[in-house]
Amino acid sequence: MSPDSTPKKRPRRPEELPKCPSFDCTLTIDIIFLSCDGVHVGAHKQNLDNFSDGFPSPDLVQAPDASTLSGRCEVVELTEDAATLNILLQFMHKTRFPKVHELSTEQLFSLAEAAEKYMVYSAMSICNDRIEQRVIDYPVQALCYAAKFHYSEIADIAASYSVACPFDEIRKYSKSHHATIYAWFQYREFFIELADAILNPPVYINNRNQEHTCSFQGPYLTATSALLPKTNTKCMQMLAEKGTFDASVYNTHRPMVHGCTACPKRIDNWIAQVQGGLCKDFPAFTSFMT
């Protein structure tokens, strides 16, 4: 028998039926989930049917018989941890829902992922609203969540705050979701090019077909650079958040080059270079999703 055909060992049943995570629930436990961190969690087949569309079929499990251990519920292994399952299952009762605003960032996104996976619609909606409210606080996680589950508005907002984030974060939270990674690189390229245009003046070729240099341009560039974002990353973040840039900043120190005929032309070319980039519509992240 090949390794792939070896029967998978069934998870061990608990000695006692675990409790339902919902406070004061009196319904019979007739299905048991085993979390990825080894905790048994009790649930109810009828509630799974009524409040979700993605859990393992109740037909896979047996009804419990308290008189014999062998007659108890089948244990179903899930990939979520116990904390996530305990919160998720509370959404599948006729009771007040848990307060997701009290969850940590990691707990919120774990719950949101599980809600989408098992199609627990009440939890999906509440998590979605909470993530949209706090998208600025965790843009990369919000972007990867929204891109994976097709929440376009959240994805487009989150993307604008993620352009200056390191790629390692995108790779970590996208969980190698290649469509998200590829779209992020394409989206980010627009901001890289525009930031480069803002921070770096174009070369000016004089009438002798040589790059222009003079004693005026050094002091002008130093003074003007002090008014600009210090790095490409900061410039990209500014562009993404504000959606524009005031090119008149290049005229602030124009009087410093009045003794040169070429430097004012270089400034004009710099302004035109930036305005040309700004004339392009800022792309929506989701326009790169295929």
- pLDDT tens digits for 133-181? 999 999 999 999 999 999 999 999 999 999 989 999 999 999 878 999 9
Q: Where are the domains of the chain?
A: 13-98, 187-288
Selection from 244, 246, 193, 239 nearest residue 224 by Cα: 246
pLDDT band of residue 67 (cuts 50, 70, 90) is: very low
Looking at residue 208, its pLDDT comes to 85
**Structure-model confidence comparison of residues 30 and 79, the more confident one:** 79
pLDDT cut 90: percent of the chain above it: 65
Q: Is the pLDDT of residue 209 over 70?
A: yes
Mean pLDDT of the region 187-216? 92
DSSP letter at 76 equals: E
**Structure-model confidence comparison of residues 71 and 187, the more confident one:** 187
pLDDT band of residue 38 (cuts 50, 70, 90) is: very high
Task: Kindly report the average pLDDT of the chain as a whole number.
Answer: 87
Looking at residue 128, its pLDDT comes to 97
pLDDT band of residue 57 (cuts 50, 70, 90) is: low
Looking at residue 7, its pLDDT comes to 39
For residue 243, what are its two tokens?
A: 């959606």
Distance of CA 101 to the CA centre of its chain: 18
Helices (H), the chain: 45-51, 82-90, 105-118, 121-133, 139-148, 152-162, 167-174, 178-199, 217-225, 232-242, 263-278
Which range has the worst mean pLDDT, 21-35, 68-82, 234-248? Answer: 68-82
Reduce the DSSP state of residue 34 to 3 states and report it.
strand
